[in-house]
Structure formats: structure tokens, C-alpha cells
Amino acid sequence: MENKKLIEQAKKVLKIEAESINALADKVDDNLVKAIDIIYSCVGRVVVTGMGKSGLIGKKIAATLASTGTPALFLHPAEGGHGDIGMVTKGDAVIALSNSGETDEIVRILPLLKRLDIKLIALTGNLKSTLAKSADVVLDVSVKEEACPMGLVPTASTTAQLAMGDALAVTLLSKRDFKEEDFAFFHPGGNLGRRLLLTVGELMHSGISIPAVDIKTLMKNAIIEISSKRLGMTTVVNRDSKLQGVITDGDLRRGLEKWGEKFFSLKVEDVMIHNPKTVTREVLAVKAVSIMEKYSITTLIVLDADGRAEGIVHLHDLLKAGVV
């Protein structure tokens, strides 16, 4: 029975917090657009501040903004009243979090922000509070109840703050036309950075590793080239070394089924696939994977500006690099 009561209590917490977020969606209005405009037009940084649990949420909001193209930092309001307010300069914007809107440490720095003519966005559950009255824009993050049975521990209220912060960050991301490449720039470490930053040029086989045969080559010799280079294909080039087509392992199987032994005496120009799929060395490796998946192929030819093959990228190389 004890275990059952614990499970039920946990479920109740999750339901209360989920309901708080659902209710938050109905409160989104033009004030959010105004907040977005303030942040988007900010020529400085976005300074996020909050005390206690709200401060912890503020740190996460600042980190999310910074990682999605909005320069942001967190200011501890208590330290702000003891010199750290110097972090804030003209041209910055401030996001202040306080469920009550009367947090002493926040209230104390409000006059300093006004003196600097700083635009202030408040995330609060009390629209009549000192913080709300001082703000240029107020985002209502009030909740019906906390998940804490005593109503004391910030739970649903901090979840609502976090969700509204994410709404701000993601909306700004879209407004800035923030792309995968931009996200990768701010996340160079770990699997995410590797997945989004690597280009085809960094992973391709080049030089003598590129399988290549002349357009007049006999198929029996093309098979030797395919086998020796171990990429499951060969490029077909003309006398100027410009790409004309490609022959893959699959073409070999289909050719043998169609022509039998006669297949070995054919010229590659009679068998090759014209207009093979190609990319340039600057293309992101993750994009190369997408192309391979779309056309059900395992290799892509990397062309230079003159239409010559300067590399081959294989799906196995992308797998080894952790792109997939």
C-alpha cells in the first residue's frame, strides 16, 4: 500500500505540472511578441536574474538563449546589489524571474535598471507586484497550485517559468532563422558538434584512393578498379578527367544477369549511370547522410568547381565518424 501511495503521489505531481504548462499556453498573447521584439532588437546582452529556485531556472534560460544565438548571461540578484550590477550596461535587456514579484533582492536592483534605461521583461505569477509594475513587458507564469502538498516548495511555478523561457528561446530561434550550422557553432564538443560540424571534405577519400576509369575502359578492367579501391563503385571520367558517370556493385550484378559473360567485354560507357549524385566538399556530412537515405545509395562523389571528382564519401565513413 505504501508503494501504491508513493506512485499515486508522483503521478499527481506530474499531472499538476503538466496542467500548469497547458494553462500557460492560454496566457500567451501580444506580451510575448513584445518580449521577443525587445530581445531581438537588443544591441547588448540579455541578462537573466532570479533568486533561489527561480534563479536556477534563470540560469537554464540564459544558457538556452546563449546556445541558440542570443548573447545571454545570468546575474545573481543578491550579488547584483553588491557590485555585480556592473555586468549590466546600456543596450542590454533584463529578464527577471520571481513568482511573487516581491523578492527583495530583485526589487532592490529595479531602480538601478531604470537608471540605466534597461528594458525589463518580468516572468511572474503576480501581475500586481512591484516587479510587474516596474517591467516594460510582463509574462504571466502564474499557476493554480504548486505540486508540493504544502504549497510551499516551488514546483509547478518553476516548471511554468522554465516552459515560458523555452517558448521565448525557441521563438527567437525561429525569428533569427537559426540553422543547424549555427547551432553546431555553439556546440563544437561531443557527438552533437561532430554530427553537425563535420563536412564531406573532412571525411572523403581523395587522391589515389578515388576509383576512376576512362569512359572507354572495358568492364573487366573496371571490375578490377572497383575491387581494388574497396568502395563498391568507380567513377567514370573522360580524357579531361571530368566526371561522366558511375558504376556500382549493383550495376555489376544487374549487368551479369542481363548480358552474362558478354558483360566483361562491354565498355563502361554502355553500363554506367549517367548524372550520378554528387556533392561539394563544403556540404555538411549530416546532409550527405540525408541524400544517401533519400536515394538509397552508400556513396557520393565529391566534385570540384571544374566538374572533376576530388573525393568519394562512403556511408561507412559517416558511421565511423558518429554522424549517423
Domain boundaries, the chain: 2-178, 200-320
List, for residues 286-309, the tens digit of each pLDDT value.
889 999 999 999 999 999 999 999
Q: Which residues contact 289 (CB under 8 A, 6 or more apart)?
A: 315, 318, 323, 324
The chain-wide mean pLDDT, for the chain, equals 91
Q: Is the pLDDT of residue 71 over 60?
A: yes
DSSP state, 218? B
Fold entry, domain 200-320 = CBS-domain (3.10.580)
Q: What average pLDDT does this structure show over 1-23?
A: 90
Task: Return d(Cα 237, Cα 224) in angstroms, integer.
Answer: 16
Q: What percent of the chain has pLDDT over 90?
A: 76
User: Using only C-alpha atoms, what is the Rg of the chain?
Assistant: 30
List, for residues 21-33, the tens digit of each pLDDT value.
999 999 999 999 9
Q: Which of 21-25, 27-31, 93-97, 319-323 has the lowest mean pLDDT?
A: 319-323
Q: Which residues contact 223 (CB under 8 A, 6 or more apart)?
A: 252, 264
Q: Is the pLDDT of residue 190 over 60?
A: no
DSSP string, 178-216: --HHHHHHT--SHHHHHHHH-BHHHH-B-GGGS-EEETT
Q: What average pLDDT does this structure show over 208-234?
A: 95
Q: Is the pLDDT of residue 189 over 70?
A: no
State the architecture of 2-178 in CATH terms.
Answer: 3-Layer(aba) Sandwich (3.40)
List, for residues 121-130, the tens digit of each pLDDT value.
999 999 999 9
Report the candidate in 151, 202, 155 with the shortest Cα–Cα distance to residue 53.
155
Residue 77: per-residue pLDDT: 94
Report the candidate in 103, 164, 155, 166 with the shortest Cα–Cα distance to residue 137.
164
CA pseudo-torsion sign 148, 63, 172, 323: negative
Q: Is the pLDDT of residue 60 over 80?
A: yes
List, for residues 148-175, the tens digit of each pLDDT value.
877 668 899 999 999 999 999 988 988 8
Q: What average pLDDT does this structure show over 316-324?
A: 83
